[in-house]
Every structure is written in structure tokens, then in C-alpha cells.
Structure 1
Amino acid sequence: MKEAAELFKILSVDKRIEIIELLKKEPMSVNAMAEALGVTQSAVSQHLRVLKSAGLVRDERQGYWIYYSLNREALESCRQRLNRVCTCGCGGGEKKCQ
């Protein structure tokens, strides 16, 4: 239970959710994310460090650049955990929680 609480705490920061949303589309560099989010590269790097330590993102060096991508398996586990917590019966589908 404590592990799930820590994961949800990590995901409670808006910019981290925005980073995940960006990475759903394609792997990106810190520079590209900073520009898309309108924040400093340092801020993006700090959020990525937290997301990476939680296992939610991965990095890959390509020449001089490091590209970040989602760990989709970890996000799926997070989604499943949230579905177990939610008791409205929506199952994460099209019905909205009330």
C-alpha cells in the first residue's frame, strides 16, 4: 500500500503529468520538453529524475542527446492499481467517475 501511495504522490505534480502526456506521443529530449512546457531545462530535468527513479520513464543516449520515453509497463501497473482503488464501477473506461 505504501508503494502505491508513493507512486500517486509522484504523479500528483501537474508538470509530471504534462511530461507523461508529452512522452505518450514520442520520445523527447529535455530541451524539447522544456520548450513545449514553457519551463526551464533544469525544472524538466528534476521532474524526469523523479519519474525515472520511480521507473515511469526511461532514457536512451543518441549521440550527444538523451531521449526520454515512457515505461508503458509501469504506467499500466499504475493504471491497474488506480482501477482497484476506484469503486465507482467505471473500470477506467468511457464512463466517468462521479
Structure 2
Amino acid sequence: MRELVKIFKALSDQNRLRILKMLEVRPLCVCEITAVLQLATSTVSKHLSILREAKLITDEKQGKWVNYRLNRQGNISYVNELLPLLSQWLPDDPTILKDRNKVKTIHRQTICQV
């Protein structure tokens, strides 16, 4: 039951839902997510930590970047069942649509200070 509670707690925040919906578009680094959400990097990092702990996302180091992506290959049955449902949720939400469009136009090379 703990795993399921952790997942639902992770899903109970608007910004974490926004992050998950952005990661449906493509893997992103912290600075890209920060640029879209307009939040402090530390706040975004905390949200990512909660999503990672719930096994909803994974991270992978690629050169100087850490890419965050949806955990589509996890072995947690709750996550495997929820992520496809999540992709169907909020299709017409103005904030989600705006975020998704922004994700398509931002580039880490121009916004990240690494």
C-alpha cells in the first residue's frame, strides 16, 4: 500500500502533474522544466525528487545534462497502469497546452547555465 500512497501523493500537486505532462513531450533537464514552470530551481528539484521517489520518472546522466523522463519501463504495476491513463487526462487544459507548446520551443543550450 505504501507505494500506491506515495504515487497518489506525488500526483496530488499541480506542478508535479504539469511536469509529468511535459515529460510526455520529451525528456527534459531541470533548467528546461524550471523555464516552463517559472519556479525556483530548488523547488523544481524537490518536485522531481518526489516524482522519482514515487517511481513515476527516472533520470539519466547524458554528458553534462541529467535528463528526466517518464518511467515507462518500470516494474511497478501501479505506475505501468497509471502513466497511460495520465496521458489521456487534461487534454484541453489551457495550462497543460501552454506548457507543452513551450517545451517544444525551449532549448537547453540557450537557457541552461552549466
TM-score, normalised by the number of residues in structure 1: 0.72
CA-CA distance at 1:7 after TM superposition: 1.6
Gapped runs of 5+ residues in structure 1? 83-91, 93-98
State the Cα distance separating 1:2 from its structure 2 match.
Answer: 4.6
Classify 1:79/1:29 alpha carbon distance in 2 versus 1 (closer, same or farther; 3 Å): closer
C-alpha RMSD of the superposition: 2.2
Cα displacement (A) at 1:78: 2.6
1 CA distance for matches of 2:83 and 2:39?
27
Q: Which residue of 2 aligns with 1:78?
A: 82
For residues 30-72 of structure 1, give each alpha carbon's deviation from its aligned partner in whole angstroms, at most 9, with x where no partner exists. 0000001111111111011111111111111111110100012
| CA distance, structure 2, for counterparts of residue 18 and residue 52 of structure 1 | 15
Task: Specify the alignment match of 2:22 in structure 1.
Answer: 22
CA distance 1:63–1:2, shift in 2 (3 Å) = closer
3-state SS in 2 of match to 1:25 = coil
Identity %: 37
Post-superposition shift, 1:18?
Answer: 0.4
- Segments of structure 2 that go 5 or more residues without pairing to the other structure are 89-114
> Aligned residue for 1:7?
7
